[in-house]
Chains A and B, each alone.
Chain A
Amino acid sequence: MFYNILPAFIVGGLICVIGQLLMDLTKANITPAHVLVIFVTSGVILGGLGLYEPLVRIGGAGATVPLSGFGNTLAQGAIAGAQEKGFLGAFSGGIEAGAVGIAAAVLFGYLTAVVFNPKG
């Protein structure tokens, strides 16, 4: 069960390196939010062009855990929705595919914020 861990490490690490270069080599006012928005958008575009799936096949979690993977999920969902239900599916497909991630983030985020206090 461990054969796919090294590829995940390398692909995931390389995707993060792109993010690091984005932060270090562009203007200084770039925040984590900017990095995440760039990643999710590029993930959707690459996913839509069919360029992200090969990365997922090689890297497994290395490609799905970075936020570009979430973007890819949204794109695949929108395409599948469009195939099945046409235009309406293009609207609903992305959110349906991303629903687990979004719901988990909202629930766990809310609970943590309620339980803990900022440490500083």
Chain B
Amino acid sequence: MVSKKVGNQTVVFQNPPIVLSGYNVVGPKEGEGPLKGSFDKVLADTYDGEKSWEKTEAKMLETAMREVVNKANVPLVSVDYILAGDLLNQIISSSFAARQIGLPFIGLYGACSTMALSTALGAVLIDGGFASKVICSASSHHDTAERQFRLPTEQGNQRAMYAQWTVTGAGSLLLGNSGAGPKVTSATFGRVIDYGETDTNNMGAAMAPAIADTIINHFSDLNRQPDYYDLIATGDLGSIGLQLVLEILNKSGTKTGINFTDCGVMIFSPKQDTHAGGSGCGCSAVVLTGHILKKIISGELKKILLIGSGSLHSSTSSLQGESIPAIGHAVSIEA
């Protein structure tokens, strides 16, 4: 049997899984941002009628999982697995959403890289012949993440100028082994890399080395140049992290160009006062399933690379003074 693994870290799919549909739900702040036209559902407020933000997040994710299947016009029972993850302890949003749906569930934790991770693993399952349809999802909620990782939402505090704003949103892709649509062509699984950043407000700086490492390995494994892609979007490094990645890549001899961007930079406008842009699993999830997927379908983009970026600390590890390990997973989607 021919190995599908290429180089050190990359897999190339022989029967590339097809993106049958994408669906996303976002919060009100994201719904006012530059990408507002690309979202399927915008919540009127951050609670959406629920008693806690944790419930709201699970409900958003459940909606994204159900609607992505409806949108593709296939029965829910024909789906083999749900692959999903989020930021909360024990990934409760994903498990609670999957509880409502009743399909086999594979819970993932990749912090903000989760959307790229779930898409990559979903594609592996399908190309390997272990599934015919898979839901790949991720979610985050600004207020649940603030509570867990930072301070209570009502506590007065001045956020650092380089801090990012966790996106409220959930996104799903439905991957299948047959049908029409863009294809997931390859995936590069990242390594955990830690360059010693300890400031949990500066996530972009913590994640940039891991993302740069994955990007360099992706191109060297596949023997490609960055201009192969129309768009190279990092998960959610924010404006500081994006600058850092470009600088690292330039210093490491990888040519960067205008096709490099970042989901966290795209989702908010500077006027929205989020400082360095968006973050959270939901950020790359809603930008991929909304803006990017729509542009691929409309033909504006032909080949894209998404590098989900996750910082793998917990509130305990950062209180104990540990530095922040990070990871980047890349998936390429081609029309």
Q: How far is the CA of A31 from the CA of B159 in the complex (A)?
A: 10
Q: Indicate if the CB atoms of B201 and A120 lie closer than 8 Å.
A: no
Which of A29, A32, A118, A120 contacts B199 (CB under 8 A)?
Answer: A29
Which of B53, B152, B156, B160 contacts A28 (CB under 8 A)?
Answer: B160
B residues near A28, Cβ cutoff 8 Å? 160, 199, 201-202
Q: How far is the CA of A29 from the CA of B313 in the complex (A)?
A: 15
B residues near A90, Cβ cutoff 8 Å? none
Q: Indicate if the CB atoms of B160 and A120 lie closer than 8 Å.
A: no
Q: Indicate if the CB atoms of B143 and A118 lie closer than 8 Å.
A: yes
Nearest opposing residue in chain A for B160, CB measure: A28
- Contacting B at CB under 8 A, from A53-72, are none
- Contacting A at CB under 8 A, from B132-168, are 142-143, 151-158, 160
CB distance from B57 to the nearest CB of A (A): 12
Q: Indicate if the CB atoms of B156 and A29 lie closer than 8 Å.
A: no
Q: Is A23 an interface residue (CB 8 A)?
A: yes
Q: Indicate if the CB atoms of A118 and B152 lie closer than 8 Å.
A: yes
B residues near A27, Cβ cutoff 8 Å? 199
Q: Is B46 an interface residue (CB 8 A)?
A: yes
Q: Is B284 an interface residue (CB 8 A)?
A: no
Q: Indicate if the CB atoms of B157 and A31 lie closer than 8 Å.
A: yes
Q: Indicate if the CB atoms of B199 and A23 lie closer than 8 Å.
A: no
Q: Indicate if the CB atoms of B200 and A120 lie closer than 8 Å.
A: no
Nearest opposing residue in chain B for A28, CB measure: B199
Given contacts A120-B46, A120-B53, contact A32 B153 (CB under 8 A): no
Which of B151, B153, B198 contacts A120 (CB under 8 A)?
Answer: B153
- Contacting A at CB under 8 A, from B194-208, are 198-202
Task: Give chain A's interface residue range (CB within 8 Å of chain B).
Answer: under 10
Q: Indicate if the CB atoms of A119 and B199 lie closer than 8 Å.
A: no
CB distance from B180 to the nearest CB of A (A): 41
- Contacting B at CB under 8 A, from A33-85, are none
A residues near B202, Cβ cutoff 8 Å? 28
Q: How far is the CA of A118 from the CA of B146 in the complex (A)?
A: 12
A residues near B160, Cβ cutoff 8 Å? 28
Q: How far is the CA of A120 from the CA of B153 in the complex (A)?
A: 5
- Contacting B at CB under 8 A, from A5-32, are 23, 27-29, 31-32
B residues near A118, Cβ cutoff 8 Å? 143, 152-154
Q: How far is the CA of A16 from the CA of B184 in the complex (A)?
A: 55
- Contacting B at CB under 8 A, from A98-120, are 118-120
CB distance from A77 to the nearest CB of B (A): 28
Q: Indicate if the CB atoms of B142 and A32 lie closer than 8 Å.
A: no
Q: Indicate if the CB atoms of A120 and B156 lie closer than 8 Å.
A: no
CB distance from B158 to the nearest CB of A (A): 7
Q: How far is the CA of A12 from the CA of B31 in the complex (A)?
A: 41
Given contacts A28-B160, A29-B200, contact A120 B152 (CB under 8 A): no
A residues near B157, Cβ cutoff 8 Å? 31-32
A residues near B46, Cβ cutoff 8 Å? 120
Given contacts A118-B143, A120-B53, contact A31 B152 (CB under 8 A): no
Q: How far is the CA of A32 from the CA of B152 in the complex (A)?
A: 11
CB distance from A68 to the nearest CB of B (A): 18
Nearest opposing residue in chain A for B141, CB measure: A120
B residues near A32, Cβ cutoff 8 Å? 151, 155-157
Nearest opposing residue in chain A for B162, CB measure: A28
CB distance from B28 to the nearest CB of A (A): 10
5 A-B pairs whose Cβ atoms sit less than 8 Å apart in the complex: A27-B199, A29-B200, A32-B151, A32-B155, A120-B46
Which 4 pairs from chain A and chain B are nearest by CB? A120-B143, A120-B46, A28-B199, A120-B153
Interface contacts beyond A32-B151, A32-B157: sample of 10 additional A-B pairs, CB < 8 Å, sorted by A? A27-B199, A28-B199, A29-B200, A31-B151, A32-B155, A32-B156, A118-B143, A118-B152, A120-B47, A120-B53
